């Protein structure tokens, strides 16, 4: 960790920031340390418009099933929309740009009507009630946000499935959640071309989805799609008849707000369940602390609503904060690598939040491209999803931010609901590549499995040692897995604590550096995938006997998929290219193109211990072309390692 530069926040940023110095930061940290519940009590009272106040801040009697703000009643859409109508009815809530260049601006008052009409449609036409699950499989159009908020309005639990997932992946999620309704669009635009989503829904629903009664289709690109009479409904027609007022359902603090499926190290994706009050409190607070959002700001997060970043930092957080949130439909490089910079210039964006993979891509495709635009409106830059390499960081800082915008490198997860470790733009001196310090109230610590704090430069388990309001409540339908996955690895003072799955280290100044996943989860372009899921997909190819998947460092994507495949037959590998293609086809069919393997090696066997465990560490080293440091003599068949190396090197 030598020769790492440090950048202090500029006086200009400090002047306007909510938290203006490290002293202010430490005093908030202290406040939370001294009186943990009092700290959250103060914030929950200040920030949330309660319909009925809570009687108790935290209930830890059934840990790790923590409950927050017991007995409180609220509706998240009131927090995001209704309460802004007094002061902000004509303010832009959402500014949207389609990839072809079409534009929409939706004010808070318009958002109120859109969401209420949508909510009425769900209730009246489809009989959706509080607690029902609704799957949303949508492109990046404003209706995706309307749909989420409409569910929240009536207390239905939404489960957004990323539009890049395949029919099989969509089906798994529909079945697990037992969804009653699927909301989708005919299609959208990407890379200059229309693509279709509705046909994917048709395939998903072709079996095992008895719970689904109807499909609501939003028209985006008016492409030809097939129609199932009695099941499919045309949103654009039906919505006209609905009233623009819908009473918000009165929700308990702990009622589920949404499910979002994410990958773990084993088995199928898990439905991460979030709550109402704790989630919205933290979504709003982090918008204020980390993005220092101001009344006149135009804020843009480039994530997809199918991921947690899209949930918290395109929809719920910005709207709860009364901000203007931008949404863009397409890819960053259409028609060229200047698209995003042009949009920042045109809309005078103040906060820009994206992923390292996009930064690396845009850096590579257009090093000087940002200079062609006026990016002086930018005040704060953000990154999320994976560790950012200093090279990409410096380019982002200098070329995009003009050397004057702090970069908030935000570490968090689907399970945490919102930012956990991040610089505060007006306070924290930043180091390229470090997420710096935990936010006030968040007890993120790097420890060993017994809870001892690690010394500087010693890698340890990144844990959160106290519960926090926006934390995952459970895994849908699988509370045991919830306990095992997150509270089964580390303890502190003898009590199980939340382990994130990530490793991390402190440097000499106490800065936190995330080193990446410690489990079998890989991170491709910021998309979290379990190696087990990809292996299960590959296993569906009729000729595959067994396989193992590892992540390999990749210049743009962060990691790429490297698959080691053992074939069943002795037909030989007549056509490796053809077989690789077929394997990628099964991956695309089961999961989606995002999980495709960059490299496939056909090998005679896998390195296994005598008890049959695949030694992925050896495979990881081989994929990277590194020397094998482990003792291979204890393997079931040590000679297999040499054979694999030869195949991979060839
Ligand atoms: C990784 C995304 C380094 C990490 C919000 C985590 C990061 C996983 C960072 C969660 C960061 C996220 N620096 N690594 N700033 N942010 N990660 O659930 O491995 O899609 O566990 O949530 O992304 O991915 P998820």
DSSP letter for each residue of 79-128 = HHTGGGHHHHTTSEEEEEE-TTS-EEEEEHHHHHHHHHHHHHHHHHTT--
Going from the Cα of 617 to the center of ligand 1, the distance in angstroms, rounded, reads: 21
Going from the Cα of 434 to the center of ligand 1, the distance in angstroms, rounded, reads: 13
Specify the ligand 1 atom closest to the Cα of 516.
19
User: Which residues are near ligand 1 (CB < 6 Å)?
Assistant: 262, 307-309, 384-387, 409-414, 435, 500-502, 514, 516-517, 523, 528
Tell whether the model's pLDDT for residue 571 goes beyond 80: no
Specify the ligand 1 atom closest to the Cα of 435.
15
Q: What percent of the chain clears pLDDT 90, i.e. is strictly above it?
A: 93
Confidence of residue 531 (pLDDT cuts 50, 70, 90): very high
The answer to whether 256 touches 273, Cβ cutoff 8 Å, is: yes
Specify the ligand 1 atom closest to the Cα of 422.
15
Tell whether the model's pLDDT for residue 2 goes beyond 80: no
Mean pLDDT of the chain: 96
Two structure tokens written together for 262: 């994410």
Confidence of residue 650 (pLDDT cuts 50, 70, 90): confident
Average pLDDT over residues 550-561: 95
Nearest Cα residue to atom 4 of ligand 1: 386
Rg (CA), the chain: 24
Q: What angle do CA 75, 412, 407 make, to 5 degrees?
A: 105
Going from the Cα of 647 to the center of ligand 1, the distance in angstroms, rounded, reads: 33
Nearest Cα residue to atom 11 of ligand 1: 411
Tell whether the model's pLDDT for residue 433 goes beyond 90: yes
**Residues listed for the chain:** 650
Mutational test site, ligand 1, from 314, 356, 386, max ligand atoms within 8 Å of CB: 386
Going from the Cα of 502 to the center of ligand 1, the distance in angstroms, rounded, reads: 8
Nearest Cα residue to atom 12 of ligand 1: 385
pTM: 0.96
Two structure tokens written together for 625: 């072309």
Going from the Cα of 523 to the center of ligand 1, the distance in angstroms, rounded, reads: 8
Coil, helix or strand at residue 214: strand
Rounded to an integer, what distance in angstroms lies between the CA atom of residue 193 and that of residue 139?
13
Name the helix (H) or strand (E) containing 583.
helix 576-590
Average pLDDT over residues 80-86: 98
Say if residue 531 is exposed, middle or buried (CB neighbours under 10 Å; 0-12, 13-18, 19+): buried
Rounded to an integer, what distance in angstroms lies between the CA atom of residue 124 and that of residue 150?
13
Tell whether the model's pLDDT for residue 572 goes beyond 80: no
CB burial string 404-422: b at 16+ within 10 A, e below? ebbbbbbbbbbbbbbbbbb
The answer to whether 628 touches 641, Cβ cutoff 8 Å, is: yes
Confidence of residue 66 (pLDDT cuts 50, 70, 90): very high
Q: Which residues contact 577 (CB under 8 A, 6 or more apart)?
A: none
Q: What is the rounded end-to-end Cα distance, in angstroms, of the chain?
A: 36
Q: Which of 299, 554, 324, 311 is nearest to 408 (CA)?
A: 299
The answer to whether 327 touches 299, Cβ cutoff 8 Å, is: no
Specify the ligand 1 atom closest to the Cα of 415.
18
Domains of the chain: residue spans and CATH = 520-649 (3.30.300.30)
pLDDT single digits (tens) 193-251: 999 999 999 999 999 999 999 999 999 999 999 999 999 999 999 999 999 999 999 99
Mutational test site, ligand 1, from 269, 279, 413, 551, max ligand atoms within 8 Å of CB: 413
Average pLDDT over residues 620-625: 94
Specify the ligand 1 atom closest to the Cα of 262.
18
pLDDT at 628: 87
pLDDT at 309: 98
Q: Check the CA dihedral 282-284-287-288 and report its sign.
A: negative
Q: Which of 417, 287, 34, 188 is nearest to 42 (CA)?
A: 34
pLDDT single digits (tens) 7-54: 999 999 999 999 999 999 999 999 999 999 999 999 999 999 999 999
The answer to whether 492 touches 449, Cβ cutoff 8 Å, is: no
Going from the Cα of 83 to the center of ligand 1, the distance in angstroms, rounded, reads: 32
Q: Which residue has the higher pLDDT, 369 or 630?
A: 369
The answer to whether 249 touches 130, Cβ cutoff 8 Å, is: yes
Mutational test site, ligand 1, from 384, 408, 410, 500, max ligand atoms within 8 Å of CB: 384
Specify the ligand 1 atom closest to the Cα of 521.
19
pLDDT at 570: 64
Two structure tokens written together for 41: 């009590």
Rounded to an integer, what distance in angstroms lies between the CA atom of residue 584 and that of residue 614?
22
Rounded to an integer, what distance in angstroms lies between the CA atom of residue 11 and that of residue 20?
9
Specify the ligand 1 atom closest to the Cα of 421.
15
Confidence of residue 612 (pLDDT cuts 50, 70, 90): confident
Tell whether the model's pLDDT for residue 613 goes beyond 80: yes
Q: What percent of the chain clears pLDDT 70, i.e. is strictly above it?
A: 99
Specify the ligand 1 atom closest to the Cα of 528.
20
Confidence of residue 1 (pLDDT cuts 50, 70, 90): low
Q: How many CB atoms lie within 10 A of CB 566?
A: 16
Going from the Cα of 386 to the center of ligand 1, the distance in angstroms, rounded, reads: 5
pLDDT at 634: 84
Going from the Cα of 597 to the center of ligand 1, the distance in angstroms, rounded, reads: 21
The answer to whether 299 touches 318, Cβ cutoff 8 Å, is: yes
Rounded to an integer, what distance in angstroms lies between the CA atom of residue 451 and that of residue 498?
11
Tell whether the model's pLDDT for residue 121 goes beyond 70: yes
Q: Phi first, then psi: what are they for 310, rounded to 5°?
A: -65, -35
Q: Which of 103, 106, 102, 98 is nearest to 188 (CA)?
A: 98
Confidence of residue 258 (pLDDT cuts 50, 70, 90): very high
CB burial string 107-146: b at 16+ within 10 A, e below? bbbbbbbbbbbbbbbbbebbebeeebbbbbbbbbbbbbbb
């Amino acid at each position: 960790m030598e020769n790492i530069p440090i950048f202090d926040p500029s006086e200009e940023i400090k002047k306007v920031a909510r938290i203006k110095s490290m002293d202010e930061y430490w005093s908030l940290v202290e406040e939370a340390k001294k009186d943990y519940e009092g700290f959250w009590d103060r914030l929950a009272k200040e920030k949330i418009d309660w319909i009925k106040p809570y009687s108790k801040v935290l209930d830890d009697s059934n840990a790790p099933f923590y409950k927050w703000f017991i007995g409180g009643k609220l509706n998240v859409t009131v927090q995001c929309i209704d309460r802004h109508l007094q002061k902000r009815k004509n303010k832009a809530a959402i500014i949207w740009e389609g990839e072809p260049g079409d534009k929409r601006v939706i004010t808070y008052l318009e958002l109120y009507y859109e969401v209420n009409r949508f909510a009425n449609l769900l209730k009246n036409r489809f009989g959706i009630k509080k607690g029902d699950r609704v799957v949303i499989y949508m492109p990046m159009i404003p209706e995706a946000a309307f749909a989420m908020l409409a569910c929240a309005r009536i207390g239905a639990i939404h489960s957004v499935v990323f539009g890049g997932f395949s029919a099989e992946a969509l089906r798994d999620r529909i079945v697990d959640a037992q969804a009653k309704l699927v909301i989708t669009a005919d299609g959208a635009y990407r890379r200059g071309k229309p693509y279709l989503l509705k046909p994917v829904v048709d395939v998903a629903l072709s079996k095992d989805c008895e719970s689904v009664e109807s499909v609501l289709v939003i028209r985006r690109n008016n492409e030809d799609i097939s129609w199932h009479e009695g099941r499919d409904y045309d949103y654009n027609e039906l919505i006209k008849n609905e009233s623009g007022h819908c009473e918000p359902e009165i929700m308990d603090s702990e009622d589920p707000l949404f499910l979002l499926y994410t990958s773990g190290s084993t088995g199928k994706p898990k439905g991460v369940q979030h709550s109402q009050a704790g989630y919205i409190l933290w979504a709003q607070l982090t918008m204020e602390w980390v993005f220092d959002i101001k009344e006149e700001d135009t804020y843009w997060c480039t994530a997809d609503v199918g991921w947690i970043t899209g949930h918290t930092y395109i929809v719920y957080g910005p709207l709860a904060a009364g901000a203007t949130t931008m949404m863009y439909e397409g890819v960053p490089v259409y028609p060229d690598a200047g698209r995003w910079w042009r949009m920042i210039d045109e809309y005078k964006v103040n906060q820009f939040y994206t992923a390292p993979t996009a930064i690396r891509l845009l850096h590579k495709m257009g090093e000087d491209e940002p200079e062609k635009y006026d990016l002086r409106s930018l005040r704060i830059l953000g990154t999320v999803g994976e560790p950012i390499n200093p090279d990409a960081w410096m380019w982002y800082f200098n070329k995009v931010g003009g050397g004057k915008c702090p970069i908030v490198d935000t570490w968090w997860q689907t399970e945490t609901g919102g930012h956990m470790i991040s610089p505060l733009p007006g306070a924290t001196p930043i180091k390229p590549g470090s997420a710096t310090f935990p936010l006030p109230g968040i007890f993120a610590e790097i420890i060993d499995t017994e809870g001892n704090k690690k010394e500087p430069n010693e890698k340890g388990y990144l844990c959160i040692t106290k519960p926090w309001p926006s934390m995952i409540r459970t895994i849908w339908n699988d509370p045991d897995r919830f306990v095992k996955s997150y509270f089964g690895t580390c303890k502190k003072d003898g009590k199980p604590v939340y382990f994130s799955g990530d490793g991390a280290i402190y440097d000499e100044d106490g800065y936190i550096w995330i080193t990446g996943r410690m489990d079998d989860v890989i991170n491709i372009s910021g998309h979290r995938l379990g190696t087990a899921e990809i292996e299960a997909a590959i296993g569906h190819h009729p000729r595959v006997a067994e396989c193992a998947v590892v992540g390999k460092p990749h210049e743009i994507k962060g990691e790429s998929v490297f698959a080691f495949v053992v074939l069943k037959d002795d037909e030989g590998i007549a056509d490796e290219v053809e077989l690789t293609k077929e394997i990628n086809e099964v991956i695309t069919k089961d999961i989606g193109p995002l999980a495709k393997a960059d490299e496939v090696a056909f090998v005679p066997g896998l390195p296994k211990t005598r008890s049959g465990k695949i030694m992925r560490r050896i495979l990881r080293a081989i994929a990277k072309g590194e020397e094998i440091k482990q003792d291979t003599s204890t393997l079931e068949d040590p000679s297999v390692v040499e054979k694999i190396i030869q195949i991979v090197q060839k």
